[in-house]
Amino acid sequence: MNKAQLVEAIADQLGGRQQAADAVDVVLDAIVRAVCAGDRVSVTGFGSFEKVDRPARYARNPQTGERVRVKKTSVPRFRAGQGFKDLVSGAKKLPKNDVAVKKAPKGSLSGGVSTQKAATKKAAAKKSTAKKTTGKAAAKKAPAKTAPAVKKTAAKKSTAKKAAAKKTTAKKATGKKTTAKKATAKKAAAKKAPAKKSTAKKAPAQRSAARKTTAKKAAARKK
């Protein structure tokens, strides 16, 4: 079946040959433009048209057997749907008074309300999950930031306490040193004072002894 025969086959259903030709041209043009743009055209129960990129490769000329390098290119590909495959293989029978290709479900062609609602629900669910994850991450980060501040304040307090303890111990040590110095000074003064008294006592004794000796000498001379 060529294009003209296809137009004749659907002319009765579309109300004329011209209308059928226009319909076929419009459908084929839309498919070709979409595939060239890189989009995939999928028809439920019939198949899908898509663009496939082929990398550069080596091939052989079937006539000469010469090895030829083929450049990188893009080719269209058609993949038959499961319904089309089942009808061709005979797994399903062609309907007599109905369309062979199943009709598209409601809302799939015009993007109906059901699909829009589903899309909005999915978007809302994604946003809520994203908010929950960000909230959890912020809650986890907050204690991590406050913990070092608490540690720093505790370290400062401990260092201040240590410094105060050192000052008090230094004051006590200096006080002990001063008291020790005073005690040693008192002991030294106490030791020195008796020594002076003893010397003072010894001096009159020596004088009295000297007087006695002189008196004895004088008496001996008189005799």
- Identify whether 201 is part of a domain: no
Domain assignment present for 169: no
Does any domain span residue 9? yes
- Buried b / exposed e over 21-45, threshold 16 CB at 10 Å, is beebeeeeeebeeebeeeeeeebeb
Q: Cα(204)–Cα(210) distance, rounded to whole angstroms? A: 10
Residue 138 placed within a domain: no
pLDDT score, position 50? 96
137 part of a folded domain:
no
Task: Tell me which residue range forms the domain holding 56.
Answer: 3-108
Please report whether residue 78 resides in a domain.
yes
Q: Which of 11, 88, 5 is nearest to 45 (CA)?
A: 88
Question: With helix as H, strand as E and coil as C, how does the chain read?
Answer: CCHHHHHHHHHHHHCCHHHHHHHHHHHHHHHHHHHHCCCCEEECCCEEEEEEEECCEEEECCCCCCEEEECCEEEEEEEECHHHHHHHHCCCCCCCCCCCCCCCCCCCCCCCHHHHHHHHHHHHHHHHHHHHHHHHHHHHHHHHHHHHHHHHHHHHHHHHHHHHHHHHHHHHHHHHHHHHHHHHHHHHHHHHHHHHHHHHHHHHHHHHHHHHHHHHHHHHHHC
pLDDT score, position 20: 94
Give the total number of structural domains in the chain.
Answer: 1
**pLDDT at residue 177, as a whole number:** 67
> Tell me, what CATH number does 23's domain have?
4.10.520.10
Within a domain: 114: no
For residue 19, give both structure tokens. 């209308």
pLDDT digit string (tens) for the chain, length 223 residues = 999 999 999 998 888 999 999 999 999 999 999 999 999 999 998 999 999 999 999 999 999 999 999 999 999 999 999 999 999 999 989 888 778 877 666 665 555 444 455 555 666 666 666 666 556 555 555 444 444 455 556 666 667 677 777 776 666 666 666 666 776 767 766 666 554 444 445 555 677 777 777 777 777 777 6
How far is it, in rounded angstroms, from Cα 59 to Cα 198?
136
* pLDDT value at residue 46: 92
What was the pLDDT predicted at 113?
42
pLDDT of residue 115: 45
Give residue 108's pLDDT. Answer: 59
pTM of the predicted structure, to 2 decimals: 0.46
Residue 67 maps to a domain: yes
